[in-house]
Amino acid sequence: MANDAVLKIEGKEFPLPTMVGSEGEKAIDVRNLRAQTGYITYDDGFGNTGSCTSGITFIDGDAGILRYRGYPIEQLAEHSSFVETAYLIIHGELPNAKQRRHFGDLLRLHSPVHAAMDHLFEGFPLGSHPMAILSALLNSLGCYYPHLATNRVQEDLANFEEASAIAISKVRTIAAMSYRKSRGLPYIYPKRTLPYCENFLHMMFSQPYEDYVCTPEVAQALNLFLLLHADHEQNCSTSTVRMVASSGANLFASVAAGVCALWGPLHGGANMAVIEMLESIHAEGDDGSKFIESARSGKAGHRLMGFGHRVYRNYDPRAKIIKASFDKALASLGIKDDPLLAIARRLEDAALSDQYFLSRKLYPNVDFYSGLIMRALGIPQNMFTVMFAIGRMPGWIAHWKEVASNPKNKIYRPRQVFTGNAKRDYVLMEKRA
């Protein structure tokens, strides 16, 4: 074929087919490499490896482009809402008025959790991390709705609309309940009259004697935060969801695994780590310059959290949008002169003119400012990654469906290059040193 690659190895030439994606990404198809040559590829961290084809989200890391189902994130941030964008990501098209109403009705219908789930919270010791609770309770949805979690893919696909609505709606209720439990507060049940974000904040912050009043600006800030996190192609947690889905596991088990992957500080945990970093800089009376000096080491624990990205070698478009909406959101919350925001801005300015960061193409990512938005909304710090999970749920669901509905789906099973001991015989205890 005209654009075949040719691999020359051990004196022989092997043609390798190539493929080109709808946005021009090029790939060498190595699916027959081992059978043809006896070689596998090696790519720790998969930075050069496409694990699948997907039609959900497109990222151009060099140009700082992010599109959900072809729609630029900037346009969705300006015109859409989290629920509408969730529908788009899952179903592939923007909903018409009837579809949007039906989707909203499903989410409202499924917002309460099964009464028995209250007892699951009782089993967690006080101070349990909300991500541990979230993952466990999401997985337990398969026990409360066994007809939606049969692990017989065709049956689970046939019930996909109900299962996906349950996952998107109940992730929010479970998150709010874990917060209330951690504070020793009574659970506040969802209201059918409230939209998605307002209902979440109601379940989080209302009291039995007084409803939390959500301003339009706060609801908009939360909508934007969730929308910007809704999908991000083959990131660590989404690849985990796809890995679990590839074995035929149900939607709830797959997204519960995604929560666990997202928890790590290099991934979804970075939004919490950014605030911890800003608070420690503030506490030391540093204006950020000392920290930038230490961040140049790149060592774990000294990294400029919220900076750098495996794909973006440019400003993360989501960070740009959050930063631009920041002043409006803070003003509406009556927050002026936030010292941490001032430090964040100084850190960004310093890093963006510092050769260490510029030479490594390290720019702010979605987590650099998002933690400050959540802090301004009154979301407790240990819930920041939970908020990321609520936002990412539509993406995980869409990728589960893309794997489950692929008739040629193969279970994900990467190879390895073995570097351990060669064959050796068992040594009896008395003969061991």
Binding site for ligand SDX (CB under 6 A): 232, 235-236, 266-267, 270, 295, 298, 303-311, 360, 362, 365-367
* Closest distance to ligand SDX from the beta carbon of 274 (Å): 7
Closer of 32 and 297 to ligand SDX (Cβ): 297
- Is the CB of 21 or the CB of 146 nearer to ligand SDX? 21
- Which residues are annotated as catalytic? 309, 367
Pick from 251, 234, 301: which is nearest to 45 by CA?
234
Distance of closest approach, residue 35 Cβ to ligand SDX, in angstroms: 31
**Least distance (Å) between residue 10 CB and ligand SDX:** 32
**DSSP H or E segment with residue 65:** strand 65-68
* Count helices and strands in the chain by DSSP H and E runs: 19, 7
Q: Which residues contact 110 (CB under 8 A, 6 or more apart)?
A: 162, 165, 166, 169, 170
Written as six digits, the tokens of 119 are: 């007892």
From the CB of 48, what's the least distance to ligand SDX, in Å? Answer: 12
What the block records as the tokens of 1 is 């074929």
CB of 360 to ligand SDX, least distance (A): 4
Residue 322 · residue 366 · CB < 8 Å: yes
Cα(311)–Cα(268) distance, rounded to whole angstroms?
15
Are 172 and 111 in contact by the 8 Å Cβ rule? The answer is: yes
Structural contact between residues 388 and 262, judged by C-beta atoms closer than 8 angstroms: yes
Listed in sequence order, the DSSP H helices in 300-383 are: 317-332, 339-351, 355-359, 366-377
Which lies closer to ligand SDX via its Cβ, residue 174 or residue 362? 362
Distances in Å between the alpha carbon of 157 and those of 148, 150, 164, 339, 406?
9, 10, 10, 49, 11
Q: Which is nearer to ligand SDX, 177 or 295 (CB)?
A: 295
State both tokens at 291: 């920290």
Return the amino acid letter for 72.
P
- Closer to ligand SDX by Cβ: residue 272 or 379: 272
Strand, helix or coil for residue 298: coil
> Which residue, 170, 178, 190, 188, is CA-closest to 121?
178
Token representation of residue 98:
């009837």
Q: List Cα–Cα distances, 111 to 166, 189, 374, 382, in angstroms.
A: 7, 9, 22, 23
- Measured from the CB of residue 282, what is the shortest distance to ligand SDX in angstroms? 19
Task: List, in order, residues 6 or more apart from 281 with CB less than 8 Å away.
Answer: 288, 290, 291, 343, 347
The overall longest dimension of the chain from CA atoms, in Å, is 80
Q: Please check whether residue 329 is in contact with residue 373, taking contact to mean a CB–CB distance below 8 angstroms.
A: yes
What phi, psi does 390 have (nearest 5°)? -60, -45
Nearer Cβ to ligand SDX, position 194 or 255? 255
Which C-beta is closer to ligand SDX: that of 100 or that of 310? 310
Contact in structure between 40 and 9 (CB atoms under 8 Å): no
Least distance from ligand SDX to the Cβ atom of residue 206, Å:
30
Question: Which of 65/333 has CB closer to ligand SDX?
Answer: 65
- Tell me which residue has tokens 């151009």: 60
